[in-house]
Chains A and B, each alone.
Chain A
Amino acid sequence: MLNYDLVVIGGGPAGLAAAVEAKKNGIDSILIIERDRELGGILNQCIHSGFGLHEFKEELAGPEYAQRFIDQVNELGIEYILNTMVIELNKDKEIIALSEDGLINIGAKSIVLAMGCRERTAGAVAMNGYRPAGVYTAGMAQRMMNMEGLMVGKEVVIYGSGDIGLIMARRMTLEGAKVKCVVEISPQSSGLNRNIAQCLNDYDIPLYLSHNINKVHGKEKIEGVTICKVDEKWQPIKGTEQYFSCDTLLLSIGLIPENELTVNAGIEIGEVTNGPKVKSNMETSMEGVFSCGNVLHVHDIVDFVTKESRVAGKNAADYIKGINDSDGKKLFETEAGNGVSYVIPNYVVSGGKDGANLYFRSRKPYKKVEVKVLIGDKVIKTKKMPAMIPSEMVNIPLSPEEIANLNDKIKVEVKEIGK
């Protein structure tokens, strides 16, 4: 059995930042395990720019952002293995992984879970008809086009208005495809406003809100789709059907944190996030096992992933050195109050030395809001925002002083403050 102080599962932005931070905090024995052929994760296929504004104060393409962390990993001499998939993690922090040399067993003092997320596929949505060739998830199409050099189709319909779908609408248009429309079942897009502007409006691609795809035509190969307006309960409204011929259907219908390892290890999972429940030091319910990035909750900005992962890396390092920030200290739950769908971390460590970074999303779109952070009934922080939408995660940091003497739950709530 191989033994390391720290094993980081996943070599994407979360895993890289956590490993770098642990190394900078004095841990030398680190292994990153990555299942793909290279480090960098999904950033490698995200060739559009817009990454790194918080972190580097410039607008980078996905691979550029990844490269900066890969360079640090190499400069710091952090060990990694590629083409290796972790298949089991047990309660003793032992890992079984399938590598190019067969099965390997790895023991660790501390583990960072940074496995990211995967896309929801065609099986996850109700659509009449078959699931013929030509139906792809948006991320799959992105990898094929941007990394493998394969054009997936010429006449495209996109279902779901998540950011990857919007970005692929532009990408496919640039490469000569005709994107007929983007179909979104909700009354509002689940993607960022700027992506609707620069990926759809710029190229005159129509966005059908409150519409679903109620039929996929074609059996061997997709021939077209019928879309239909839906009511508030997402029921199709008769007589509103429209047919679009297409050879490609891209699905951008949501991401799921990839937590099979976590669940099998018996780590507690949050209901809304589908990721492990964590304390403000990013420790999961299993002592010495930390988590960060999209496996914890799906992010829309990689800069936030980096910030969160540093906390995980630093606390993993401390744990290895025999300091556990959550040890013997009181934990207080965080609560998603009015208008908030979830809050990460799930627990705040009273007197935690690094404070706590609260990340949360609104339940629905709001105009002009005041976000309040309360301890019990006492408001300790407010933040006014011109707008709040579910697709944009909000971050409010709490200083060590603010959580020095916690005595009650921490609640985040949203209040509309009118015009």
Chain B
Amino acid sequence: MENKKEFTCIVCPVGCHLTVTKEENQYNVNGNTCKRGEIYAQQEMIAPKRNIASTIRVEDGFLNLVPVKTDKQIPKEMIFDVMKEINKYRVTAPIKVGDILIENILGTGSNIVATRNIAKNN
């Protein structure tokens, strides 16, 4: 592992330019303007994680798709596996924002939750 790494913080739209240096067993973060940036940078060095958003097919709904997101970050290297799993699912309307549509996806500890209401098709 390199001792110094630079990257852009993705926690919020400010997009701080972060520099992380490793000293002994500790990562020192520079360039962050908030605590969340520091936590992100350390996590990024140890095991990068991301949230993802996608859609699930809906039967009997006002729309054919419901948008969904991970409610906790998942390991970055599992993104495409999670996408594959999401794409296997079908759900039936009505759906409420916040409904858990897939629990603990692939054992990541993250649920796939709906991000909008889908009314039943009349």
Contact = CB atoms under 8 A, between A and B. Distances in A.
Contacts of A396: none
A192 B55 contact: no
Interface residues of A, number: 34
Given A61-B67, A149-B64, A300-B13, 14 more contacts: A47-B67, A53-B12, A67-B97, A146-B65, A149-B55, A174-B79, A193-B15, A193-B17, A194-B12, A194-B13, A194-B14, A198-B50, A201-B8, A301-B13
Give the top 8 A-B pairs by smallest Cβ distance, nearest first. A193-B15, A63-B116, A47-B67, A61-B115, A197-B8, A194-B15, A194-B10, A198-B10
Contacts of A66: 116
Interface in B92-122: 97, 115-117
A147 B67 CA distance: 8
B116 A44 contact: yes
6 contacts: A59-B51, A61-B116, A145-B55, A197-B7, A198-B10, A201-B8
A67 B13 contact: no
Chain B interface: which size bin? 20 to 34
B65 A149 contact: yes
A47 B115 contact: yes
A148 interface: yes
Interface string A189-223: 00011101110011000000000000000000000
Contacts of B63: 147-148
A219 B99 CA distance: 46
A62 B10 CA distance: 17
Nearest to A67: B97
A64 B115 contact: yes
A50 interface: yes
B10 A63 contact: no
A63 B69 CA distance: 11
B64 A64 contact: no
A376 B80 CA distance: 57
Contacts of A50: 12-13
B19 interface: no
Contact of B83 (A145, A174, A387, A392): A174
A47 B53 contact: yes
A202 B115 CA distance: 24
A67 to B, nearest CB: 5
A49 interface: yes
Interface in A29-48: 44, 47-48
Given A193-B15, A194-B12, A202 B76 contact: yes
A6 to B, nearest CB: 26
Given A47-B67, A149-B55, A197-B8, A192 B115 contact: no
A102 interface: no
A301 to B, nearest CB: 6
B33 A194 contact: no
A84 B105 CA distance: 41
A61 B13 contact: no
Nearest to B62: A38
Nearest to A174: B83
B91 interface: no
B22 interface: no
A66 B117 CA distance: 11
B117 A194 contact: no
Given A64-B97, A64-B116, A193 B64 contact: no
A77 B8 CA distance: 44
Nearest to B68: A47
Interface in A156-201: 174-175, 192-194, 196-198, 201
Contacts of A328: none
B54 interface: yes
Contacts of A196: 8
Contacts of B116: 44, 61, 63-64, 66-67
A141 to B, nearest CB: 14
A67 B12 CA distance: 21
Interface string A129-146: 000000000000000011
Contacts of A63: 67, 97, 115-116
Interface string B1-37: 0000001111111111100000000000001010000
B9 A194 contact: yes
Contacts of B7: 197
Nearest to B52: A174
Count chain A CB atoms within 10 A of each CB in B12, B15, B33, B63 and give the residue with the most. B15
B10 to A, nearest CB: 4
A159 B10 CA distance: 23
A146 B68 CA distance: 10
Contacts of A62: 67, 115
B55 A47 contact: yes
B97 A192 contact: no
B32 to A, nearest CB: 10
A386 interface: yes
B53 A49 contact: yes
A149 B52 contact: no
